């Protein structure tokens, strides 16, 4: 008796610059679809923090080959779905330690390293071969999953994104200076949009949503309308 055909995986990509609300929306979309949420930025942040202390990391850009030798072999895994999705690295659950502004800036540095991007591209694609997921990042629709069923690109002005990030940090009880956050976001945008490898940009077939004047609920509904059969 022939084996039943495997259910094809269903991939949705949500890309955009820092502070546009990708993580919150991708989790919610994944939850509505009942599938896993892949935070590619968390993978870069994890590698960035693992790289601290490596002599190769002191270079600008860091020495890619030396960097990978320093952090050793990496294995990522996803468990759960939607808001309950957890990402693991080498058997350890990734936690809040990667969510600082410093970790974000360090991640932007390692994201410019070709060897790191190639490694994570392979690891992310492996995660997407066995399970349906909503992938969130900066190049998931252009590089990681170019054949995704649906591609969304979220954008918003720097000022709006900085204001949102400030409120998010303060709500979490963390200090937040609007001018400093705005400067960091501008710097991150410059690195992301102008790097030589996989720069931040919409995929040619992506649906672009400007979230500057929309609530999270309105953006969520707009995304779900795109995904509706």
Sketch the domain layout of the chain as residue ranges: 11-220
Give the homologous superfamily in CATH for domain 11-220: P-loop containing nucleotide triphosphate hydrolases (3.40.50.300)
Host H or E run for residue 12: strand 11-15
- pLDDT one-digit tens code per residue, 126-139: 999 988 999 999 99
Please tell me the predicted confidence (pLDDT) of residue 65: 87
Give the C-alpha separation, 175 to 179, whole Å.
12
Displacement of CA 61 from its chain's centroid (Å): 21
Q: How far apart are CA 87 and CA 79, in angstroms?
A: 7
Q: Return the C-alpha torsion angle 58, 191, 38, 201, nearest 10.
A: -150
Residues 206, 15: contact at Cβ < 8 Å?
yes
The pTM assigned to this predicted structure is 0.85
Residue 130, exposed/middle/buried by CB under 10 A (0-12, 13-18, 19+)?
Answer: exposed
Weakly modelled stretches of the chain, pLDDT under 70: 1-8
Q: Write the CB contacts of 216 (distance below 8 Å, at least 6 apart in sequence).
A: 21, 24, 25
CA distance 136 to 18: 11
pLDDT tens string 56-69: 777 777 888 888 88
pLDDT digits (tens, 9 = 90+) for 101-152: 788 888 888 888 889 889 999 999 999 998 899 999 999 999 999 999 999 9
In this predicted structure, what is the pLDDT of residue 1?
41
- Cα separation, 49 vs 112, whole angstroms: 15
Tell me what pLDDT residue 2 has.
Answer: 42
Give me the pLDDT at residue 8, please.
66
Specify burial of residue 72 (Cβ count, 10 A radius: 0-12, 13-18, 19+): exposed
């Amino acid at each position: 008796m022939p084996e039943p055909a495997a259910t094809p995986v269903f991939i949705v990509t949500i890309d955009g610059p820092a502070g546009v609300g990708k993580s919150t929306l991708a989790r919610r979309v994944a939850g509505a679809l009942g599938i896993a949420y892949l935070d590619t930025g968390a993978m870069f942040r994890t590698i960035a923090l693992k790289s601290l202390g490596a002599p190769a990391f002191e270079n600008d850009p860091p020495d890619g080959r030396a960097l990978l030798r320093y952090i050793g072999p990496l294995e990522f895994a996803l468990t759960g779905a939607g808001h309950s999705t957890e990402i693991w690295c080498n058997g350890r659950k990734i936690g809040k330690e990667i969510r600082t502004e410093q970790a974000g800036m360090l991640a932007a540095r390692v994201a410019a390293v070709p060897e790191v991007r190639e490694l994570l591209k392979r690891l992310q694609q492996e995660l997407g071969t066995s399970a349906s997921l909503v992938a969130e990042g900066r190049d998931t629709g252009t590089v990681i999953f170019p054949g995704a069923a649906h591609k969304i690109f979220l954008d918003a002005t720097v000022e709006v994104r900085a204001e949102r990030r400030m409120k998010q940090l303060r709500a979490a009880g963390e200090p937040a200076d609007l001018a400093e956050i705005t400067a960091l976001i501008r710097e991150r945008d410059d690195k992301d949009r102008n790097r030589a490898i996989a720069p931040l940009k919409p995929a040619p077939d992506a649906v672009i949503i400007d979230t500057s004047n929309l609530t999270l609920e309105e953006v969520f509904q707009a995304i779900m309308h795109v995904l509706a059969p």
